[in-house]
Structure 1
Amino acid sequence: MLHVLYLVHDVSDPAVRRRITMLRTGGARVTLAGFRRAATPIADIEGLRPIDLGATRDGRFAQRLVAVAKTAVSIGSKLRDVPKPDIIIARNLEMLALGRRARSAFGAAVPIVYECLDIHRLVLRDDVLGKALRATERHLARDVRLLVTSSPAFIANYFKPFRQVAAPVELVENKYFEAAAILPAEREAVEAPLAPPWRIGWFGALRCRRSLELLAGFTRHTEGRFEIVLRGRPALSEFPDFHAFVDAEPYMSFRGPYRNPEDMAAIYHDVHFSWAIDFFEEGQNSEWLLPNRLYEGCRFGAVPISMDNTETGRFLRQRDIGVLLPQATPEALETALGGMEQHRFGRLKARVLAHNPRMWSYDRSDCGALVEKLRRLTTVRGPLATEALA
């Protein structure tokens, strides 16, 4: 059984749980080690007891650097009871640094996989800091065996032009995970559209103040014909007044966290549309990503709303689904959605549901294929005979 040491920047991140589930479903044994954003250590993630590397704070880059530097000195003792892994997966740049230190502690040539699912705004700066971070990434990634990322735009706009990683690339999209295999002909039943108020669901990492204000203004302008349902984890470092803001809005409600994948069908069936827009790092990461909520919403028939000039917008346009906005204004939302009626919504939803669920989901066979690809890395000496970034 392939033994994976998974090093993560935040063990409580729901995406970490999903990756662990994929790896274990594919037949791997996983040891999890990472930092946490909570005050106390996390006791259990999918039946695993994480090796605690200490606390870090969201949005505090300098504090995270100090934490990584301290942990780099003690990583050997932290992992002293861990058998030598077959492969190390390092999620994000700071964990790549620790991955190399961990490999040295094991005293063996353990392959390292670099998992990068977001391009942080700091590495895109054109000043001394940005250039230093990119140089650091190139140095740390000089002998990684595989780069795992989630959007073609990350490759086209960052990894390829900046020549950051010479390893082969594996695209693992932010798809929903199905516990059971998806039959090729499987379809969700197209239910009769519900009457207004129309509900827009914004689920997941809630970190975009501009989206919050835009949706609030739109619902006030439409006087309750549209409602906003928020679920997930609000980034209070970005808007510490999040709860007060939502409480003051007459057509907006925050319904707390949810479990993925257990709650996904219920929460998306409860809304008509899925908000797949993020201005958090506008023009950069937010324009390039293909978010979890895109796949999750479409899997359960929620009609996605996206900006037209983004990777998500291009993805939806190619498949002729969703509602695309030319501008991020209440007026643009009003033009696109204000005249919504049941027959039009029924057509929009039917176009989403017409696609094979495998477009939106990974199942056990996909997990097995991912683990098999990782296993092959452990048997190859030197650079892989696979096309690297040109």
Structure 2
Amino acid sequence: MLQILYFAQDLADPAVRRRVLMLLAGGAKVTLAGFRRDANPLAAIDGIVPVELGNTHDGRFVQRVGAIAKSCLSLKQALRRVERPDLIIARNLDMLAIARKAVSLFGGDVPIVYECLDIHRLLLSPGIAGKALRTSERLLGRDARLLITSSPAFVENYFRPLSGISAPTMMLENKVLELDETDARPSVTAAAAPTHGPWRIGWFGALRCRKSLALLATFSRRMEGRFEIVLRGRPAYREFDDFDGFIRNEPFMTFHGPYRSPEELGAIYSDVHFTWAIDFFEEGQNSKWLLPNRLYEGCRFGRVPIALRGTETARFLAIRGLGVLLEEADADALAALMGSMTSEIYDATSRRIAACAPETWIFNRSDCEGLVRRLSAVTSAAPPRIALDFPQAHQNTSTPQNEGGLS
């Protein structure tokens, strides 16, 4: 059984929970360690008691650097009961520093996998801070055996031209985790247009985009109740002046709190017709390149995604002839796009989503086993010393399964 030590930047992040569940379902034994940013009981994993390295705060970069330095000094004590792993996975740059320290404690030859699913704006800065961070990433990741990321645009726009990471790359999209016992891939069912009442747009997950909140509020008021906005997930309160107060004052917008993923996805998406798959957070950079969880989640349940032209999400949908694409990032353009929506148009759009192969949206138990096999291969492979052949950003990301069963 593959023994994995997984370092996470936020133990309360539902995406961390999903990744650990994937590794467990694939047959690995996982020790989870990392920092905590807030309390989130919905991110707990049965049978997993994480090794807590301290507390960090979202958006407070200097505080996080201090917490990492402090943790490195006390890491031997924190990991005293952790058996030597076969592999260490470091989620994000913060954890890459911790992973390097852990390798030295375990004897210096435990392979590291670098998992990076967001590109922080400081990493893209042309100034001294950006150069220093990229240098740190290159040095800390110089012996990484594998790079895991979730969008080809991250590779095309950052990892290939800027990062200096020389590890082979694996694309691991943010698909919906479904661990049914039969290991089947259930078909996607088309959603139905409302027979009465308003259309509903769901914005679910990490709620951190002030521009999206304002745009959707203005749009829903302009449509005078024909469209309602439903929010669920974890708001990044520091990004908003008064998130809760804003929602209370909006007549066509509601917030229903966090949810458990993947267990509650079917219920929450059945409550809406469209998925808001747009993010202006770090606009023009990370938000333009990512393929968000909500894209796969909404389509898994036949809900129609709304994306912004010029983004990787829009490119992904356009290749497949799916979704509705917003031309401009403002309420007028959204009203023009959605104002002519009819049951006939919606039904046809949702049916196109349902016609896609389920594996476009779903990651099942056999995929988890393939992931663990791929990671097992890393433990026996020599450190890479050759140039990468990265996938091009214009290629279709829904590729045939490779030896590890991953797309």
Q: Distance in 1 between matches of 2:129 and 2:297?
A: 36
The answer (yes or no) to whether the contact 1:207–1:238 under 8 Å persists in 2 is yes
The answer (yes or no) to whether the contact 2:269–2:298 under 8 Å persists in 1 is yes
Moved more, 346-355 or 78-87: 346-355
1:126 partner SS? coil
Deviation track 1:238-273 (CA, whole Å, cap 9, x = no partner) reads 114000000100000000111111110111111000
Q: Distance in 2 between matches of 1:153 and 1:72?
A: 32
1:375 partner SS? helix
2:24 partner SS? helix
Aligned pair in 2 of structure 1 residues 260, 223: CA closer, same or farther (>3 Å)?
same
Moved more, 174-183 or 64-73: 174-183
Deviation track 1:320-351 (CA, whole Å, cap 9, x = no partner) reads 01010110111111111011111111111111
Aligned pair in 2 of structure 1 residues 85, 290: CA closer, same or farther (>3 Å)?
same
Structure 1 partner of 2:171? 171
Q: CA shift at 1:47, angstroms? A: 2.3
Structure 1 partner of 2:397? none
Q: CA shift at 1:95, angstroms? A: 0.4
Moved more, 191-200 or 311-320: 191-200
Structure 2 partner of 1:33? 33
Q: Distance in 2 between matches of 1:39 and 1:356?
A: 37
Structure 2 partner of 1:131? 131
Q: Distance in 2 between matches of 1:37 and 1:8?
A: 11
RMSD in angstroms over aligned alpha carbons? 1.9
Q: CA shift at 1:38, angstroms? A: 2.2
Asked whether 1:324 is paired with 2:316, we answer: no
Matched residue pairs, number? Answer: 390
Structure 1 partner of 2:4? 4
Q: Distance in 2 between matches of 1:330 and 1:321?
A: 22
Q: CA shift at 1:28, angstroms? A: 0.2
Aligned pair in 2 of structure 1 residues 219, 49: CA closer, same or farther (>3 Å)?
same
Structure 2 partner of 1:102? 102
Moved more, 38-47 or 155-164: 38-47
Q: Distance in 1 between matches of 2:216 and 2:385?
A: 47
Q: CA shift at 1:196, angstroms? A: 3.7
Q: CA shift at 1:186, angstroms? A: 2.6
Q: Distance in 2 between matches of 1:66 and 1:360?
A: 39
1:104 partner SS? helix
The answer (yes or no) to whether the contact 1:167–1:389 under 8 Å persists in 2 is no
Moved more, 203-212 or 188-197: 188-197
Q: Distance in 2 between matches of 1:286 and 1:261?
A: 23
Structure 1 partner of 2:267? 266
TM-score, normalised on structure 1? Answer: 0.96
Q: Mapping of 1:263-302 within 5 angstroms?
A: 263-302=264-303
Structure 1 partner of 2:314? 313
The answer (yes or no) to whether the contact 1:232–1:257 under 8 Å persists in 2 is yes
Q: Distance in 2 between matches of 1:346 and 1:182?
A: 29
Q: Distance in 1 between matches of 2:241 and 2:21?
A: 32
Asked whether 1:231 is paired with 2:232, we answer: yes
Q: Mapping of 1:48-67 within 5 angstroms?
A: 48-67=48-67
Aligned pair in 2 of structure 1 residues 61, 320: CA closer, same or farther (>3 Å)?
same
Matched to 2:205, the amino acid is G
Q: Distance in 2 between matches of 1:353 and 1:195?
A: 23
Deviation track 1:117-151 (CA, whole Å, cap 9, x = no partner) reads 00000110110000000011001010100000000
Q: Distance in 2 between matches of 1:218 and 1:57?
A: 32
Q: Distance in 1 between matches of 2:43 and 2:221?
A: 43
Aligned pair in 2 of structure 1 residues 198, 389: CA closer, same or farther (>3 Å)?
closer
Matched to 2:147, the amino acid is L
Q: Distance in 1 between matches of 2:164 and 2:72?
A: 22
